[in-house]
């Protein structure tokens, strides 16, 4: 038995009368669509509901599957004390899913549960479903910090488990869209918010799951969304299936995008293996990027690949531009994988005899010594995109008024502590943000005195 239906739903607590106290009427279209989803699920009569939630246990490099026989949850953290739900887990499904993941060397399982109680991303969908249908068990899964492709692959393992156990299974992808739709919303306004919601809701209505996977990471981050990875797991669970899709509702009343969509499975479709399509697209993009790399970036790639593959440091090659050989400067090397940061290490002031030597040194550090990430492995090397920033000499400034986040990087110094942030970074839109992040990196608290320096960079990609 395959997945017999799938749904995308939001999880705003305010949609419940017990929480909204009348405010829920402002998103009545979302509420009506939610009940339509509940009726569709009742008609499908699933044995098991797989529910992915952004607010379940989340790890950077691991998908958590909630263990045990049952769980309960409430809305006490929203100061509501008369809403609670108890639900039974499909323990056999969770164990088989874990078994399949482990057999494929995939990072998913039941270890490391941090919170047993149902999160509100799970509780709110169940609130509506339980009004109409209760004869089911659930499997609750969290998201991860891994790539879109890994989320899709996890969905495929869920599909495999469903087929093995013969369960009538429905997938619910819980997730809100942008949280930055209006100035009075919870996170303020960003122009990327409405843009993101327009793209995603169009993809929902057309069943265009590839658009979920190829979304520009900088756009989704600036939009402040929480549901995209949940939707991608759902897409993987529907791998190779023909679907009839419908966007049932969309509202952004409270500055947050709430979308409800339904996907009826109507057969098989060999053109809907989106992981294969996505990998082909990524490979072609990487080919183009590598062809366009200049001498600075090619040297960074050579350095890290030589070190990871052969355990040795590359020598400065012949034929480099004179500036790389005869000029000294601070250099930062940044690595990205599938649009996400994979490492960034650099030097504010030069510690070697040339820019070329600085790149050779810092490329290895970016790939193996960034404390935020494990060392880059040989299998990851083909997926890496490099950038090299060559810094100008830092100059002292008197205040943030002399900063421009697009043009200048900033160095914040307090005693022996020093934090740096490069210019023109995704999600950094104001000098205040820029300085705050640099202070955080250096461990400088807001109440400490500090000095500021600014610098410019030449960015090579």
- The CA distance from 379 to 105, in Å, is 14
State whether the Cα torsion 348-354-359-362 is positive or negative.
Answer: negative
State whether the Cα torsion 52-58-63-69 is positive or negative.
Answer: negative
Residue-wise pLDDT for 152-187, tens only, equals 999 999 999 999 999 999 999 999 999 999 998 888
**Average pLDDT of the segment spanning 393-415:** 94
**Average pLDDT of the segment spanning 341-368:** 96
**Average pLDDT of the segment spanning 285-295:** 95
* Cβ neighbours of residue 331 closer than 8 Å, sequence gap 6 or more: 346, 347, 350, 355, 358, 359, 362, 388, 389, 390, 391
Contact 225, 8 (CB under 8 A): no
Residue-wise pLDDT for 205-226, tens only, equals 999 999 999 999 889 988 999 9
Mean of pLDDT over the chain = 95
- The CA distance from 423 to 390, in Å, is 12
Residue-wise pLDDT for 299-335, tens only, equals 999 999 999 999 999 999 999 999 999 999 999 999 9
- The CA distance from 264 to 54, in Å, is 23
Helix %, strand %, coil % of the chain (to 5) = 40, 25, 35
Give how far Cα 172 sits from Cα of 138, 164, 203, Å: 10, 20, 17
- The CA distance from 68 to 82, in Å, is 25
Residues facing 327 on adjacent strands:
none
**Domains of the chain, start order:** 3-277 (3.40.830.10), 290-460 (3.30.700.20)
Write the DSSP string, 232-257.
Answer: HHHHHHTTTEEEEEEEEEEE-TTSS-
Contact 99, 110 (CB under 8 A): no
- The CA distance from 178 to 252, in Å, is 9
Question: CB-side exposure of 317: number of CA atoms within 13 Å?
Answer: 15
DSSP 3: E
pLDDT at 200 over 80: yes
**Average pLDDT of the segment spanning 377-403:** 95
- The pLDDT-based confidence of 339 (bands split at 50, 70, 90) is confident
State whether the Cα torsion 162-164-165-167 is positive or negative.
Answer: positive
Contact 266, 185 (CB under 8 A): no
Residues facing 172 on adjacent strands:
7, 51
Q: Tell me, what's the pLDDT at 246?
A: 98
- The CA distance from 251 to 384, in Å, is 38
**Token duo for residue 223:** 């939009």
Question: H/E element holding 142?
Answer: strand 137-142
* b/e map 434-457, b = 16+ CB within 10 Å: bbbbbbeebebeeeeebebbbbbb
Task: Give the closest residue to 145 by CA, choosing from 390, 361, 338, 309.
Answer: 338
Q: Tell me, what's the pLDDT at 80?
A: 84
- The CA distance from 382 to 324, in Å, is 25
pLDDT at 12 over 90: yes
pLDDT at 37 over 80: yes
**Average pLDDT of the segment spanning 126-143:** 97
pLDDT at 1 over 80: no
- The pLDDT-based confidence of 2 (bands split at 50, 70, 90) is confident
- The pLDDT-based confidence of 201 (bands split at 50, 70, 90) is very high
Contact 154, 106 (CB under 8 A): yes
Residues facing 245 on adjacent strands:
263
- The CA distance from 136 to 170, in Å, is 10
Share of the chain above pLDDT 90, in %: 91
- The CA distance from 308 to 367, in Å, is 9
DSSP 381: G
Q: Tell me, what's the pLDDT at 230?
A: 98
Q: Is 58 helix (H, G, I), strand (E, B) or coil?
A: strand
Q: What are phi and psi of 389, to 5 degrees?
A: -110, 120
Q: Tell me, what's the pLDDT at 175?
A: 98
**Average pLDDT of the segment spanning 431-439:** 94
Lowest model confidence (mean pLDDT) among 9-13, 78-82, 232-236: 78-82
- pTM listed for this prediction: 0.87
- The CA distance from 289 to 284, in Å, is 9
* Cβ neighbours of residue 366 closer than 8 Å, sequence gap 6 or more: 300, 304, 333, 334, 335, 343, 344, 345, 346
Note the helical H segments in 256-400: 274-292, 295-310, 322-326, 355-368
């Amino acid at each position: 038995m395959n997945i017999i239906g799938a749904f995308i739903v939001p999880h705003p607590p305010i949609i419940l009368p017990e929480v909204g106290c009348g405010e829920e009427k402002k998103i009545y279209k979302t509420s009506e669509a939610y009940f339509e989803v509940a009726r569709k699920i009742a008609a499908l009569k699933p044995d098991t509901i797989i529910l992915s939630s952004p607010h379940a246990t989340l790890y950077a490099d691991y998908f958590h599957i909630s263990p045990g026989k049952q769980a309960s949850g409430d809305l006490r953290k929203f100061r509501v004390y008369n809403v609670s739900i108890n639900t039974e887990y499909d323990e056999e499904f969770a164990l088989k899913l874990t078994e399949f993941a482990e057999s494929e060397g995939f990072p998913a399982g039941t270890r490391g549960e941090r919170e047993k109680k149902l999160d509100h991303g799970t509780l709110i969908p169940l609130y509506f479903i339980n009004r109409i249908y209760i004869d089911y068990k659930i499997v609750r899964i969290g998201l991860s910090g891994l790539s879109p492709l890994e989320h899709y692959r996890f969905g495929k393992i869920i599909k495999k488990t469903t087929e093995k156990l013969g369960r009538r299974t429905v997938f619910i992808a819980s997730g809100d869209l942008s949280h930055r739709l209006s100035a009075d919303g919870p996170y303020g306004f960003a122009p990327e918010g409405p843009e993101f919601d327009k793209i995603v809701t169009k993809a929902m209505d057309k069943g265009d799951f590839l658009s979920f996977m190829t979304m520009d990471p900088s756009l989704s981050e600036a939009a402040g969304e929480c549901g995209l990875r949940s939707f991608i797991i759902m897409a993987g669970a529907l791998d190779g299936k023909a679907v009839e899709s419908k966007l049932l509702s969309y509202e952004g009343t409270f500055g947050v995008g709430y979308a409800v969509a339904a996907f009826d499975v109507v057969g098989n479709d060999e053109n809907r293996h989106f992981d294969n399509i996505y990998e082909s697209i990524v490979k072609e993009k990487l080919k183009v990027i590598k062809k366009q790399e200049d001498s600075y970036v090619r040297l960074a790639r050579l350095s890290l690949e030589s070190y990871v593959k052969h355990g040795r440091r590359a020598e400065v090659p012949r034929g480099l531009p004179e500036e790389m050989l005869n000029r000294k400067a601070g250099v930062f090397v940044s690595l990205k994988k599938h649009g996400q940061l994979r490492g960034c290490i650099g030097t504010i002031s030069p510690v070697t005899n040339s820019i070329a030597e600085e790149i050779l040194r810092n490329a290895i550090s970016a790939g193996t010594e960034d404390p935020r990430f494990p060392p880059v492995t040989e299998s990851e090397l083909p997926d890496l995109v490099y950038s090299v920033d060559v810094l100008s000499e830092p100059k002292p400034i008197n205040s943030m008024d002399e900063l421009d986040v697009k043009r200048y990087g900033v160095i914040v110094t307090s005693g022996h502590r020093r934090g740096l942030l490069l210019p023109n970074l995704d999600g950094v839109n104001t000098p205040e943000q820029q300085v705050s992040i640099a202070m955080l990196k250096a461990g400088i608290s807001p109440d400490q005195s500090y000095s500021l320096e600014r610098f410019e960079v030449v960015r090579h990609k």
